[in-house]
A = this chain, B = another copy of it.
């Protein structure tokens, strides 16, 4: 690999001039600059990012650490992050924490050791340890799930979304809605459960039916199974994410339960497949792309130092999309 000194020799100037020319510094003789560029092109020179980062104490990549790469919600966020980061000249390195604190810690360490310019994280737990990032002075913005400490963040009004979903189920005529939510340590799981509980309580004398499970397909299947086996089984389900819903669908199918007749269902997240299952799935859509875009925007401002000192917390709203899975087909009973 050609290095900067090779280019300097080829162009007949000093390494400093090469560095300045290639980094578009204001005061450099245009003729030299041309010679440098020509020499660099001829040798196929590429700056060594490692050396540059070591010297500058920062790089032009950011890390996006998400909870689950196979969840469409997070990949939609990814696109939002990428679009704005790219526009600012940053590359984004995606890290899949896989709903696992240990992996998350590993990637946080990698981010620190690789001196990324900033990180966007959906923390596995509110207690996730980001102290090293602070220590290394790496800007952080948190998405989807809150952290115990003050930090820039982009969240969504999960509780409200859950409440409106549950109310919608009740309005549609279902009488025993249950909630399948994520693990207890996940704040989003708690909020969505809270939304459900509030709706149910406001309605008066309704059982509070809910179960916690991993935010995964198998989690949804297990939870549905548990609920359906109970003495007082629900006649409608509010599911806290799309991955779980796939598992729920599996379980419903296994039991021969017909959605819209035997059971109603509505889920968080407007997965790409939601309109195409049978019957089409009603959902509480999160503005995933925007979450990513806004988070990246905040991060860019922090990196550039143009952000105000105080922490900024954005909270975006969900939108209820009623399709058919949550409707009750009276005539067909």
Contacts and interface: CB of A to CB of B under 8 A. Distances in A.
A69 B94 contact: yes
A109 interface: yes
Given A79-B70, A250-B275, A51 B54 contact: yes
A288 to B, nearest CB: 11
Interface stretch (A41-49, A118-126, A225-233, A301-309): A41-49
A318 to B, nearest CB: 20
Interface in A197-234: 217
Interface string A14-48: 00000000000000000000000000000010111
Copies of this protein in the assembly total: 2
Contacts of A113: 46-50, 52
Contacts of A190: none
A98 B79 CA distance: 9
Contacts of A249: 276
A279 B47 CA distance: 54
Interface residues of A, number: 54
**Most chain B beta-carbon neighbours within 10 Å: one of A52, A110, A279:** A110
Nearest to A135: B1
A93 interface: yes
A110 B91 contact: yes
Contacts of A94: 69, 93-96
